[in-house]
C-alpha cells in the first residue's frame, strides 16, 4: 500500500462517520471490480484513479454484478457473476478490503447440470441460524413451462439458494423464490422485524423489466406479499442502503441512454425518484452499496491496488 502526500489527501472528499462504498463493473465485466466512495449517497467518487480494485485472475473470467458484505467476524465477502453461461460463481474474501484472498470458482449447481447460468449472486447472513444464505438467478430449461418465452433468448429465471457457514462447504442448491414469473437480481435488506427483497421482474413479453418487492420474517423466507412494480422500465441490479431515516435504492437503467439512478422511501410504500440528484463515475454498472466507517474510508482513499 502506498501512502499519499498530504496535499493529495486533502484534495480527496472528506468522509463522514457514515461513509458509503459502492462496488461496480465496467463494460462486460472483463476488467474487474471497481470501488467508489460517497459521504452522502449522492455524489460518488472513484477510488484507485478509476482503475479496477480487483482484476480477473483467470483467462476468460468476468467479474460482473459484484456483491460485497461483511460477516459478524468482520470478514468481507465478495461474490460475482463469473460468466454469462458459467455454472459457477466467483468468490474472494478480505479482512480490510485492500488485501484479498485468491479468487475461486464456487460450484453451487452441481446437481442441476441443465442450468444455463448463474447470475448476480448475493448473500445474506442469518443471525439465528448463524449461516449465510447465498442466492442467485438461474434458468433451468423446461422447469417452468408456463412462463417460457417471457424473457430474452429463452431465459426463464427463478431465484435459487444454498447455505454455508464458511464459504467452503455448501448445502445443495434449491429453489428459493418463485414469484410465478421470470425474475432476476434479488437483493435483501433488514428493517425491524421483517426482511425485504428487491428484485427485477425480468419479463419482456409482456414488457415489464421493473423492480418489485417481497417480504419475509426471516432471510430464508418464505417470501410473500409481492408488490406491483415501483420503478420505471429497463432497470436492474438494485442495491439499497439506509441513509438517515431514508432507504435509498440504486438501480442501473441499462437501455439507452444508460445511466445510474436512485429511488428513496421511508415506508416501502411510497417511492421518490432521486436520479437527478446522484452522480456516478462514467461507466458505473451495478454492484453493491454498503455503509462503512470513516477510518476504513480513509484507508481505502489512501490505498492503491495494482
Give the pLDDT score at 10. 32
Task: Write a three-state SS string for 20-53.
Answer: EEEEEECCCCCCCEEEEEECCCCECEECHHHCCC
* 1 located within any domain: no
Question: Number of folded domains in the chain?
Answer: 1
User: For position 207, what pLDDT does the model report?
Assistant: 87
The answer for residues whose C-beta is within 8 angstroms of residue 99's C-beta and 6 or more apart is none
Q: For 209-263, what is each residue's pLDDT tens digit? A: 999 999 999 999 999 999 999 999 999 999 999 999 999 999 999 998 889 999 9
Residue 16 lies in a domain: yes
Residue 65 lies in a domain: yes
Calculate the CA 267 to chain-centre distance: 22
Closest CA to 134 of 220, 197, 222: 220
Mean pLDDT taken over the chain? 93
With a pLDDT cut of 90, the percent of the chain lying above it is 90
Q: What is the CATH number of the domain that holds 167?
A: 2.115.10.20
> Is 134 within a domain?
yes
pTM summary value: 0.93
Residue 38: which domain range?
Answer: 6-302
Residue 182 in contact with residue 203, Cβ under 8 Å? yes
The reply to whether 111 falls in a domain is: yes
Q: How confident is the model at residue 306 (pLDDT cuts 50, 70, 90)?
A: confident
pLDDT digits over 68-122, tens only? 999 999 999 999 999 999 999 999 999 999 999 999 999 999 999 999 999 999 9
192: in domain: yes
Amino acid at each position: 500500500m502506498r501512502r499519499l502526500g498530504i496535499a493529495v489527501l486533502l484534495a480527496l472528499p472528506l468522509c463522514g462517520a457514515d461513509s458509503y462504498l459502492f462496488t461496480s463493473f465496467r463494460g462486460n465485466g472483463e476488467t474487474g471490480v471497481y470501488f467508489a466512495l460517497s459521504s452522502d449517497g449522492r455524489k460518488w467518487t472513484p477510488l484507485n484513479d478509476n482503475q479496477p480494485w480487483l482484476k480477473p485472475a483467470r483467462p476468460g473470467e468476468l467479474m460482473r454484478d459484484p456483491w460485497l458484505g461483511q460477516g459478524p467476524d468482520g470478514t468481507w465477502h465478495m461474490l460475482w457473476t463469473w460468466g454469462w453461461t458459467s455454472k459457477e460463481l466467483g468468490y474472494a474474501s478480505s479482512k480490510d478490503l485492500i488485501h484479498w484472498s485468491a479468487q475461486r470458482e464456487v460450484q453451487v449447481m452441481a446437481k442441476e447440470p441443465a442450468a444455463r447460468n448463474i447470475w448476480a449472486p448475493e448473500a445474506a447472513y442469518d443471525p439465528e441460524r448463524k449461516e449465510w444464505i447465498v442466492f442467485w438467478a438461474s434458468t433451468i430449461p423446461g422447469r417452468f413451462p408456463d412462463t417460457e418465452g417471457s424473457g430474452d433468448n429463452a431465459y426463464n429465471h427463478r431465484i435459487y439458494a444454498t447455505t454455508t457457514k464458511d464459504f467452503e462447504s455448501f448445502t445443495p442448491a434449491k429453489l428459493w423464490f418463485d414469484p410465478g414469473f421470470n425474475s432476476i437480481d434479488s437483493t435483501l435488506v433488514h428493517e425491524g422485524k421483517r426482511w425485504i427483497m428487491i428484485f427485477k421482474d425480468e419479463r419482456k413479453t409482456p414488457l415489464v423489466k421493473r423492480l418489485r418487492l417481497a417480504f419475509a420474517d426471516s432471510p430464508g423466507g418464505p417470501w410473500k406479499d409481492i408488490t406491483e412494480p415501483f420503478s420505471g422500465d429497463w432497470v436492474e441490479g438494485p442495491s439499497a442502503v439506509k441513509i438517515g431515516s431514508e432507504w435509498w435504492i440504486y438501480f442501473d437503467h441499462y437501455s439507452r441512454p444508460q445511466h445510474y439512478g436512485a429511488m428513496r422511501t421511508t415506508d416501502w410504500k411510497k417511492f421518490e425518484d432521486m436520479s437527478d440528484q446522484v452522480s456516478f463515475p462514467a461507466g458505473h454498472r451495478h454492484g453493491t452499496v454498503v455503509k462503512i466507517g470513516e477510518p476504513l474510508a480513509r484507508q481505502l482513499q489512501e490505498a492503491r491496488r495494482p
